[in-house]
Structure 1
Amino acid sequence: MHRNNDRYVILTGGPGAGKTTLIAALKERGHATAPEAGRAIIQDYQVIDGPALPWRDKALFAELMLSWEMRSYAAAAEQQGTVFFDRGVPDVLGYLDLTGIPVPEHTRQAAKLFRYNPTVFILPPWPEIFEQDTERKQTIEEAELTYNALATAYVQSGYHLVEVPRQSIAERVDFILAYLDHRR
């Protein structure tokens, strides 16, 4: 089962770079979206004081992110047109590399099977907008390390990265949509 879907477009990058805000703006413009796994998992597991938190069990957290991303991929089939993902399966590879956990073969297999548009939009670290919160405990330095790990994971997975400029949300949305329109 090899899946390849050019209408599935990933936005990735380190924490606090504006991905979720950008995804929300794309949704407001009528585009289908898929939410970020990590933040939702953290929110859910904080409520139940569960073990699948990145500061408790990084490997378990990664497994839940992988499961979430595969389900989001499957659910996107029910949506029309381009679907914008707040991260994707290869983010799990980057996370595991960043945390020093060996990447399990099933995770590598998932990155091979669940393929997205070959162009991935990556948001660079942006110290001026970076904020910590109850789910985002990383520092800006950790956000930069995450950005680098994700960039490496996506390139090694065969994707072409396009860095989204540090601009207003509307300008970022316009940049992404114009880039995709130009590629069609």
Structure 2
Amino acid sequence: MFDHMFVVTGGPGSGKSSLIDALRCRGIETMPKAGRAIIRDQVQSGGTALPWEDRAMFAELMLTRDLQSWQEASALEGPVMMDRGIADVFGYLTLCGLPIPAHIEAAAKAYRYNRKVFIAPYWDAIFGQDAERKQNQEEAKATGKVMAETYARFGYELVELPQVTVEERADFVMDCLKAE
């Protein structure tokens, strides 16, 4: 197990990326989330592996990128914050009601992170949509719930992030990292 790699997960628009950016500014190594990069690449290239076109292929591309991030992070020293993790792909397929290929479940079991997973709860005050985040509030809430259930299923301990300023959230995470 790679105890130095920490996942931040939850629904869209719950402040995950802002938190990770704040932690990066404090000197913590970070790994980007796959979803937005895949959407940008697919839109730019005219591809169809998009959450609103081919969700199964979108999941496969997320898995590929998340495995690459895991490999890169595993070679780093000190704590690394992951903007989502491999189990998020399992959760995404569950949310979409799609079959979960055996290799995706196997990857979520084999490529582990620190036992503590930070979950950002749905937060109405900061939720927003944009060109790459098309989910509505109900989908955002459902995604957060599924991600919590998914990580619990894989044996992780969920640490809910408080609904406070980005800097206060970063302080909370830093305190949790010190306790490890």
TM-score class, shorter-chain normalisation, is: over 0.9
Report the alpha carbon displacement of residue 162 of structure 1 after superposing the two structures with TM: 0.6
Aligned to 1:113: 110
Q: How does 1:22-171 map to 2 (within 5 A)?
A: 22-171=19-168
Report if aligned partners of 2:5, 2:113 keep a CA contact under 8 Å in 1. yes
Aligned to 1:172: 169
Report the alpha carbon displacement of residue 35 of structure 1 after superposing the two structures with TM: 0.3
The AA in structure 2 aligned to 1:91 is D
CA distance in 1, matches of 2:169, 2:178: 14
Deviations 1:47-102 (A, max 9, x none): 11211101010000000001110000001133221000000000011100000011
TM-score for the superposition, normalised by structure 2: 0.98
Report the alpha carbon displacement of residue 170 of structure 1 after superposing the two structures with TM: 0.7
Deviations 1:93-130 (A, max 9, x none): 11000000111100010011100000000000011111
Percent identity, please.
Answer: 49
TM-score for the superposition, normalised by structure 1: 0.96
The AA in structure 2 aligned to 1:106 is H
Report the secondary structure of 2:134's partner residue. Answer: coil
CA distance in 2, matches of 1:46, 1:143: 22
CA distance in 2, matches of 1:40, 1:181: 31
The AA in structure 2 aligned to 1:154 is Y
Deviations 1:19-41 (A, max 9, x none): 11111111000110000111110
CA distance in 2, matches of 1:55, 1:98: 13
CA distance in 1, matches of 2:41, 2:77: 28
The AA in structure 1 aligned to 2:147 is L
Q: Which one is further off, 70-79 or 158-167?
A: 70-79
Report the secondary structure of 1:122's partner residue. Answer: strand
Report the secondary structure of 1:9's partner residue. Answer: strand
Count of residues in correspondence between the two structures: 180
**Runs (5+) with no aligned partner, structure 2:** none
CA distance in 1, matches of 2:105, 2:172: 31
The AA in structure 1 aligned to 2:26 is R
